[in-house]
Amino acid sequence: MRHGVARFVTGFLALPVALYLFYVVWPFAQAAGYSLTSWGGYSDKQEFVGLDNYVRLFSDELIRKAFWHNVFFLVTVPLFTIALALFLAFLLNVGGREDRAGIRGIFGSGIYKVIFFFPQVLSLVVIAVMWQQIYRSDGQGLINGLLIKVGLVDADNPIAFTADPEPFLGVPAVLWWLLLIAVWSGAGFYMVLFSAAMQSIPKDIYEAAILDGAGRFHTFFRITLPLLRDTISVAWVYLGFIALDMYALVFVMTPSQGGPNHASEIFASVLNFTAFQKGQFGYACAMGVSLAIFTILLAALQLRITRRERIEY
Amino acid sequence: MSVTPEHPADLSRRTLLRRAAAAGLLVTPAAGLLSACAGSEPSKSDDSGAAKSKDNPFGLKDGSAVKVVIFNGGLGDQWAKEDKTVFNAKHAGVTVNMSSTQKIKTEEQPKMSTQPSDLVMNSGADMMDISTLVNEGAIEPLDDLLAAPAWDGEGTVADTLLPGTVEDGTFQGKFFVVNVAYTVWGNWYNGALFTKEGWEPPKTFDEFFALAPKIKAKGIAPYVHDAVHGYYPRWALMATIWKSAGRQVVIDIDNLKENAWKADGVLPALQAWEKLVKDKLLLPGNLNHTQSQQAWLDGKAAFIQVGTWLKNEMAATIPPGFEMKLSDYWGLGATDKAPKDVFAGAGEGLVVPSKAPNKAAAKEFLRAVLSKSGSTKFAELTKSLASTKGSGDGVQDSALSTANELMKNAPKDLIKAKFFDFYADLDKESQNLSEELMAGRLNAQQFVDKMQAAADKVAKDSSIKKQTRA
């Protein structure tokens, strides 16, 4: 009988595992292989160069710049997205007044949930095209148009948004404008995720706290946040992946894809340029492999740091 | 790409891999960055042909098929369908499988080392880097096409082409790329507006700077350009450099000659543009190509610099009474070394991959594209000149006729810079610096210094294959 079950399970698993190995793992392995060659991408000549491509990465100024821009997103995207998502989720679930039915969200929270989640159902390209209109750098742009009408912005000197390389807090302004889009489009999903987690926290814990005289501030920081630790930790890892990518936004939103003058260059945009414009697929694969290793290490580290005793409830 | 094997027994590992790769694209779009580098193994091509004759100079086999991929961008793809008719009139037995796309590199690059299409129009934002294609031996030299008899007319194919067409398709001494569209660049203005106001289109920057206050007084910005794609302003900067410093200086720049950017005439040319920016003669805002072109059509700016595809690109929104006219790029005046040279050239290149299964048919199709009947249709449909002589003779249109006129008065030398086709690093740097100069964040001297530094870096880098032009 047990023997039969094993065969049954194997039969079902074999195909998906084979597909996964072939379509996902094998291309990754191939990329790792190419990263040791000086392949140009169009011929069948692949000269083996050992670890040269990886050594070159360390002296590449553009890659270093791109790396720090990715680090900027790595810190800010999860931080701001999670903060905003938590704040919204708290308001929508336990932020309202308490009555006989117990703790509830603020008035109209159902509608807000739909509105905040909405960016998640749009494709990233649709979002980018929409924000191009919002960020348009003349009087026809949504923000510039309004501010010029109100008189806050000079029509001869409109806000440049993603074409602005001037540093703000030491980071090119274009990266802050991209961050705003990333946070706006990501917060809704994590709000729903955190809402689900919050709803699984027993209401009586809140009621007990309120009876003891805890205000909203204390209920949030003493109850909600500690009990959401696991969910937030997972969200942090996911958002870290998104922050290390950011390719679509940079590609669609910035001048000369990574501009102006390299001010928004990230790992993926340099990789794209190296592979497809410069025709150095070997070197580009080395970048991809390095990014993959960096991502995996980061995820492992993140999960390790946040691992703690689970609180049962 | 057809993934069906000729015989069931042919379902080799290679075919299987190809199918797998095709399916893989559908299954795992997110595998993204890593697997973008992956490819598969090469295949052999069957190129044994039939007898060659004047009507069939490449020995095209009857009953064969040819796969043609057309870039469906500003020029559309209807002209290519007309060429298919021209082709089939002579070769009814050959099947033309034509498809059109905007994603040339995405769709064709993965197939280049295995089983590519026979004829690929390598154009648009998503095009394959041409010098890489040449360096990797991925495309076929087409010198025999130039020597072949013209499809419908006297002489060889080469005899029918406009000046610059052969040079524009030549890399490392061989002719690789058949550019089908002939483009003229310059400063566009609205003829109707200029007549009404009594303005004369300027020939030099000094004349422009004199006219600018009058334009500004009417509430119109004197100039607008695409500030998002660096290669737009770069055309204008290179045209002024050529006019001011002369042909040899630009050739030296292309050949990475020492201190080429510091030659006489380069700095003053860039200073003219610097002045245009500093004097606030640009329409505010960083607009892209269609936004800036629309702003110009809406009468917000007097001049815009772009090529002759403009009319076709903006066809849907040209206001009634608007008279699109092209004038030459401005020079600096008396000191100019080549004031009359025009910025023009053949673009929208068709290439034949080296591993294409039916190269004879691909070359024969190119002969049909360059035929009289084919190119007349091309000019008619695209409102752009074809790279064969006399394609625009029958077309009535102010944009096309001003371009024609400019070409008639042009000397034989065409303004042409090649360093950005030769070296991807210089391409990127020059685009970025052009944007910076036009945004007022860089002055002319800094532009020269930075370009010289970038050129020196490429010259010293032994891993970059050098190219030269004469």
CATH number at residue A96: 1.10.3720.10
Residues 9-38 of B with CB under 8 A from A: 20, 23-24, 27-28, 31, 33-38
What does the radius of gyration of chain A's CA atoms come to, in whole angstroms? 24
Judge if B167 and B197 occupy the same domain: no
Q: Is residue B410 part of a domain?
A: no
Q: How far apart are CA A298 and CA A294, in angstroms?
A: 6
What does the radius of gyration of chain B's CA atoms come to, in whole angstroms? 24
Please say which residue of B370, B401, B432 terminates a domain: B401
Chain A partners of B16 at a C-beta cutoff of 8 Å?
Answer: none
Pick from A188, A199, A181, A176: nearest CA to A87:
A188
Pick from B42, B182, B119: nearest CA to B368:
B119
The three-state DSSP-derived secondary structure of A204-258 is HHHHHHHHCCCCHHHHHHHHHHHHCHHHHHHHHHHHHHHHHHCHHHHHHHCCCCC
Q: pLDDT by residue for chain B (470 residues), tens digit each?
A: 333 333 333 334 333 334 433 433 333 333 344 444 444 444 444 445 567 787 888 988 888 999 999 998 878 899 999 999 999 999 999 999 999 998 999 999 888 888 899 999 998 878 898 888 998 899 999 999 999 999 987 889 998 888 888 888 988 889 999 999 888 999 999 999 999 999 999 999 999 999 999 999 999 999 999 988 999 999 999 999 999 999 999 999 999 999 999 999 999 999 999 999 999 999 998 888 989 999 999 999 999 999 988 888 888 899 999 999 999 999 998 888 989 999 998 888 999 999 999 999 999 999 999 998 898 889 888 888 888 887 777 777 888 888 878 877 778 788 989 899 889 889 999 999 999 999 999 999 999 999 999 999 999 988 788 888 87
The nearest alpha carbon in chain A to B226 belongs to A255
Can the peptide bond before residue A165 be classed as cis, meaning omega within 30 degrees of 0? no
Range of the domain at A251: 71-264
Q: Is residue A57 part of a domain?
A: no
Judge if B364 and B453 occupy the same domain: no
Minimal Cα–Cα distance from A219 to chain B, Å? 40
Angle, helices B372-382 vs B78-90, to 10°: value is 160
The nearest alpha carbon in chain A to B21 belongs to A23
Amino acid (1-letter code) at residue B184: V
- A98 — pLDDT class (breaks 50, 70, 90): low
- Tell me the CA distances in angstroms from A221 to A87, A195, A309, one per residue in order: 11, 16, 18
Q: Where residue B229 sits, what CATH number does that domain have?
A: 3.40.190.10
The pLDDT, as a whole number, for residue B253 is: 94
Instruction: Please check whether residue B455 is in contact with residue B290, taking contact to mean a CB–CB distance below 8 angstroms.
Output: no
Range of the domain at B388: 51-182+346-401
Whether A103 shows a pLDDT value over 70: the answer reads no
Q: Is residue A232 part of a domain?
A: yes
Instruction: Please give the distance of CA B115 from its chain centroid, rounded to a whole number.
Output: 26
B120: helix, strand or coil: strand
Higher pLDDT, B42 or A270: A270
The pLDDT, as a whole number, for residue A3 is: 67
Total domains in chain B come to 2
- Tell me the CA distances in angstroms from B267 to B56, B241, B305, B437, B447, one per residue in order: 53, 8, 21, 13, 9
The pLDDT, as a whole number, for residue B138 is: 92
Q: How far apart are CA B45 and CA B118, in angstroms?
A: 11
CB contact under 8 A, A256 and B428: yes
Q: Is residue B408 part of a domain?
A: no
Interval A284-306 mean pLDDT:
88
Q: How far apart are CA A56 and CA A287, in angstroms?
A: 10
DSSP conformation letters of B35-61: HTT----------------SSSTT-PP
Instruction: Please check whether residue A184 is in contact with residue A120, taking contact to mean a CB–CB distance below 8 angstroms.
Output: no
Reported ipTM: the value is 0.82
CB contact under 8 A, B109 and A276: yes
Instruction: Please check whether residue B105 is in contact with residue A277, taking contact to mean a CB–CB distance below 8 angstroms.
Output: no
Cβ-based neighbours of B323, under 8 Å, separated by 6 or more: B190, B191, B192, B193, B398
Q: Is residue A260 part of a domain?
A: yes
Judge if B319 and B428 occupy the same domain: yes
The nearest alpha carbon in chain B to A268 belongs to B33
- A49 — pLDDT class (breaks 50, 70, 90): confident
Q: Is residue B11 part of a domain?
A: no
DSSP conformation letters of A73-109: HHHHHHHHHHHHHHHHHHHHHH-S--BTTB----TTH
Residues 262-291 of B with CB under 8 A from A: 280, 283-287, 291
Judge if B72 and B189 occupy the same domain: no
Instruction: Please check whether residue B81 is in contact with residue B98, taking contact to mean a CB–CB distance below 8 angstroms.
Output: yes
pTM comes to 0.77
Residues 41-80 of B with CB under 8 A from A: 41-42
Q: How many percent of chain A have pLDDT more than 70?
A: 94
Residues 109-128 of B with CB under 8 A from A: 109, 112-113, 128
Total domains in chain A come to 1
Q: Is residue A125 part of a domain?
A: yes
B186: helix, strand or coil: strand
Angle, helices B231-245 vs B266-278, to 10°: value is 130
Chain B partners of A281 at a C-beta cutoff of 8 Å?
Answer: 37
The pLDDT, as a whole number, for residue B280 is: 92
Q: Is residue B22 part of a domain?
A: no
Judge if B173 and B83 occupy the same domain: yes
B470 burial via Cβ count (<10 Å: 0-12, 13-18, 19+): exposed
The pLDDT, as a whole number, for residue B306 is: 93
Interstrand relation of B174-175 and B385-386 (parallel, antiparallel or unpaired): unpaired
Minimal Cα–Cα distance from A275 to chain B, Å? 8
Token pair 């510039």: residue:
A144
The pLDDT, as a whole number, for residue A311 is: 66
Pick from A93, A80, A85, A95: nearest CA to A116:
A85
The nearest alpha carbon in chain A to B42 belongs to A44
